[in-house]
Structure formats: C-alpha cells, structure tokens
Structure 1
Amino acid sequence: MKLSLRCWLPLLALPFLVHAAELKIDVGHGATIYTTAALLQRPDVRTITVPNDVAFHRTMQYRAVPLAALLDRLDSRDHLQFVASDGFAAEMPAALVLDRRGGEAWLAIEDPAAPWPGLSQHRGSAGPFYIVWTQPRGVPVNPEQWPYQLAAIHRLDDVAARFPAILPDPSQPAGSAVQLGFTVFQRTCFACHTLNGEGDAKLGPDLNLPHNPTEYLRTDLLRAFIRDPQSLHRWPQAKMQGFDTQALSDADLDAVLAYLRHMAQRKAAH
C-alpha cells in the first residue's frame, strides 16, 4: 500500500524543523537569533566530551560552542536567565559563565544528522540546545544550571529585584538558615516553581499559594520527596527529578526547608 503525500510530509519536514530551531539571546544590546545551522557552521564549534552528563547520566559527546562567545559585552556582575521550551527557567550569575568558576560552559547544539538519544522517564528530547559544563574548577554547578530544551537566554535584574514577594523578612540576619535557604531556593526550586505567585518558571506548582508544602507534609516526608519524588507519589510521567546529596547537601536541604517554613508565614494576598 502506498503512503499518501500527507503521510510523507511530516517525515520529509522533520530535518527542516530541526534545522529551523532557533535560540534567542538578549543580553541588553538587542536580541540575536541563532539557528541550528548557523551555530553548527561557526568557526569556534568543537566536539566536546562531557563525563557524567546531568541529563543523560553518562559520558556524552556534543558539537558545541563556548557559551561566553555568544554573550557579547556581558559583565560578570550581570544576571542571566535561561528559558526552556517546557517552562523551566534557570537563574544564573553571569560570573559563573564568564569567570569559569564552575568550569567552562558550552552551548551544545543537536545536529539533525546525529540526533541525541531521548531522555529517560518521559522527558522527551534534550535538544535542540543544551547548556553543558566541562572542567569543573571547585565551584559546584547545580543540576538546575544545565538547562536543556533551551529556547532563550536573557540578561535580567537579579531574582530579588524582580520578585520582592519571595524575599524573607529583612529582619532575618545574613548567614541565618532562612537566608541561606533563600539562596539555595533560587538555584534549585525556583527554576521550576513560583512562590507567592512570583517567578517566571511554568513547570511546577506555586510553593506558597494556596498552601506551602511544609503545611501539609511532615518534614520527613518532604525531605524524602525532595530526594526522590517517586518515594511519595508513584507517577511514571512525573517530571520532577530528585536531588541527591551531591546536588543538594543535607545542610542546604535543611536551609531550604527553613526558608519554606518562614515563607509560609509571609503569604502574598490571594
């Protein structure tokens, strides 16, 4: 039986769609749109090897461009947001990229001629663009700072300036568990969740409205859920990944819980 032209069209269009993928970068001097094809033709594109890749949990090879080369006139005091097509929004200080404090950041580009394998646990593809890191230099890069399915990079004010409703009470001293928890929250939870209705992520529920998880989960269950979400709800399609002790130390987890308990008393008006 012959396939109709209508059946063939999606197959014929697939390479074109991958080639047509676009990444928008705006660091304050006007937006630049990069296509897959243009990035793969750059003179600085390299084949890199990434051991223990965060998304694939094994050694991976990519065609990639140094991320700093795409961030023209960016200052190390600036702040960046990485937005994925699924609603994930990672916040990152520019210094982490420019000063290489956590290693060297690369923009990995999915080549239509050699597509990447699918991700595990119903997460689809990591492409067409993915931030990966090589040569760690002692400052840990959090798993949330490896955004895949990347669609845009923006220079923005930092989180505290943009979203005042997520700030702890100013009476909390610097170095307190609540203030430390706020810092950890920004680099972990805030990439997927909003709090008090504020934030750019669209992947997970709000963590304070109408209820804070510390209000309806025992501390031991909440800790277990953050370590392994499937330990609380067996849900094969769930997108939340657990945080092991390398990604989130016990001390940092304690601090996040202290921040969430604190914010449960600082709910924004409904």
Structure 2
Amino acid sequence: MRHTLALLALLFSLPLCAAQLNLELGEHSRRWSSAALLSHPQARSLDIAQDVAYKRPMRYRVVPLAALLEGVTADDHLQAVALDGFAAEMPAAPLLQAGPARAWLAVEDSAQPWPALGQGKPSAGPFYLVWSDPQAGGIRPEQWPFQIATIRRLASVEQRFPALLPDPKLASDDPVRQGFALFQQNCLACHRLNGAGDAQFGPDLNVPYSPTEYFQPAFLRRYIRDPQGLRQWPQAKMPGFAEAVLSEQELDALLAYLGHMAKRKP
C-alpha cells in the first residue's frame, strides 16, 4: 500500500510535458506523449457546453479517440484506467462512431494547464475522455473518465468476472439483468463486487455485505441520489446519480441486481 501511494504521488508530480498515454491494444499497442498528441494531424479545439468533471463550459485541445484505436473493432471491449485506480469499462462501438455522440481524447497542454478539480486536487489531465453531443448517444457521466493513464483492450466484463453474473436461470427481460448492465456502466469503474473487478477506488459492494443488507431501502435510494446529503465527510468522492442520469426505473433495476447478488456471495 505504501509503495502504491508513493507511486501515485510520483505520477501526480510529473511535469505535464512528460505525460504518456499507454494504448494496450495487442499488436497495435503504442505510447503517445502529450506533445505528440497535441500536434496530431487531427487535433483541434473543442468546446464542451457542460463538462462532467468541471461542471461548467470548457474548451480543450482534442484528438478523435477513434483515430488512436488502431485495430479496434466495434465488437471489442476497452477499459480506461486512471491514475487513481478508477477503471471505466467501455464497449468499443460508441467510441469508434463519428457521431452524433462522438468521443474525443482531451490533452492537457503544459503551457496552458487545466484548472484543479477542487482545492488540493489535481486537474482532470493529463488525458480526459470527453464527448460532443453526448445526449444523442445516451452517454453517462461514468463514460467521461479523466486523469487517464492507460486504455486497453480486454475481454468483456462477463468473460473476465463471472462472479458478477446474476443467476443464469433468470428470464432475459428480468430487471436484475438490466441492473447488471447498469452496474457495469455506473458502478464498476469505482467498485468491485464479490471481489471481482479491476477498480481500486471504492469498497466492494457485496463482500462482506451488500448495501441492500445494511441500508434501509429509502435511505439507500437517497444515498445513491445524493451521497453527501446523507453521509458527509471531506474525503468523500462518490458522485450523486440524479434522475437525469439514472431514472427511477433504472434505479429500481440496479437495486434489484444488488439485492439479487446479496444472495450470490462467494
């Protein structure tokens, strides 16, 4: 643990000019420096009307993410790993599309550094996945990973982590199955479940106990909607999931999945 913290401190302290993006894409793997990306032939400026990380309009120097994903197909699965252990699971298809929702890699320029995310916090750099017209593609906040260090091609979540799977006997239209999909989109970037997952950010959501086992149902819903409104402390990092991001029906399905998995511990 001490070595991990020391490594993170070193990474955060590196000058922006030394930032490196690792693309682990099999035979097409390569490493890009921030300087090379800023001078990429397809680099351009992009205005984001409502930035997810900064909660306000932002302008970035960006490269179409698809231009960097050589050899990746729509059927592939990718993972963006941040410096702090956040690990966003991403089907490749939306990342490769030219629109209407389009994925861009924002690159922080050491000559024009981005603002800090908060007091005592670093910026969203050196690399940040942003979207133009995200509403057109149903893009969720968890699909905007920042402080990216690595993007890698992996097998799907279902293949890598069978401990996350609900009972295979469930009907295809069972809400638990929808909840599993929502868990992957909204929770797996920060949390593990049954010890399964790559995130190093938040606690396991089933071992030793599921939050459905120790929260009263109404308070669990309130906590997911507004964590700081229910339990407040300075180091808290969990974002709230407003109804615009997670509808009531989707929240029902997510809670159904968590309740179901409380009976499927290792």
Q: Using structure 1 for the length normalisation, give the TM-score.
A: 0.91
Amino acid at match of 1:43: P
**Contact 2:66/2:97, CA 8 A, preserved across alignment:** no
Q: 2:187 aligns with which of 185, 189, 193?
A: 189
Distance (Å, rounded) in 1 between the aligned partners of 2:119 and 2:176: 33
Q: 1:249 aligns with which of 244, 247, 250?
A: 247
Counterpart in 1 of 2:164? 166
Amino acid at match of 1:133: W
Distance (Å, rounded) in 2 between the aligned partners of 1:79 and 1:102: 21
Cα distance change of structure 1 residues 112 and 22 upon mapping to structure 2, 3 Å threshold: same
Partner of 2:134, secondary structure, is: coil
**Contact 1:22/1:36, CA 8 A, preserved across alignment:** yes
Amino acid at match of 2:69: L
- 1:40-189 equivalences under 5 Å are 40-100=38-98, 103-120=101-118, 123-136=121-134, 138-189=136-187
**Contact 1:15/1:112, CA 8 A, preserved across alignment:** no
* 1:123 CA displacement: 4.6
* 1:101 CA displacement: 6.0
Distance (Å, rounded) in 2 between the aligned partners of 1:89 and 1:200: 6
Amino acid at match of 2:203: P
**Contact 2:24/2:152, CA 8 A, preserved across alignment:** yes
Distance (Å, rounded) in 2 between the aligned partners of 1:243 and 1:124: 23
* 1:135 CA displacement: 2.6
* 1:237 CA displacement: 1.9
Partner of 1:90, secondary structure, is: strand
**Contact 1:102/1:137, CA 8 A, preserved across alignment:** no
Distance (Å, rounded) in 2 between the aligned partners of 1:76 and 1:196: 29
Cα distance change of structure 1 residues 159 and 109 upon mapping to structure 2, 3 Å threshold: same
Distance (Å, rounded) in 1 between the aligned partners of 2:56 and 2:210: 35
Moved over 2 A (4+): 99-102, 120-124, 135-139
Cα distance change of structure 1 residues 121 and 187 upon mapping to structure 2, 3 Å threshold: farther
Larger gyration radius, structure 1 or structure 2: 1
Amino acid at match of 1:167: L
Counterpart in 2 of 1:202? 200
The percentage of aligned residue pairs carrying the same residue is 53
Cα distance change of structure 1 residues 15 and 173 upon mapping to structure 2, 3 Å threshold: closer
Counterpart in 2 of 1:17? 15
Unpaired stretches in structure 2, ≥5 consecutive residues: 1-11
Unpaired stretches in structure 1, ≥5 consecutive residues: 1-13
* 1:16 CA displacement: 7.2
Deviations 1:17-59 (A, max 9, x none): 2100111012222421111111111121101001111011111
Distance (Å, rounded) in 1 between the aligned partners of 2:100 and 2:258: 27
Distance (Å, rounded) in 2 between the aligned partners of 1:208 and 1:122: 32
**Contact 1:82/1:147, CA 8 A, preserved across alignment:** yes
Distance (Å, rounded) in 2 between the aligned partners of 1:267 and 1:148: 32
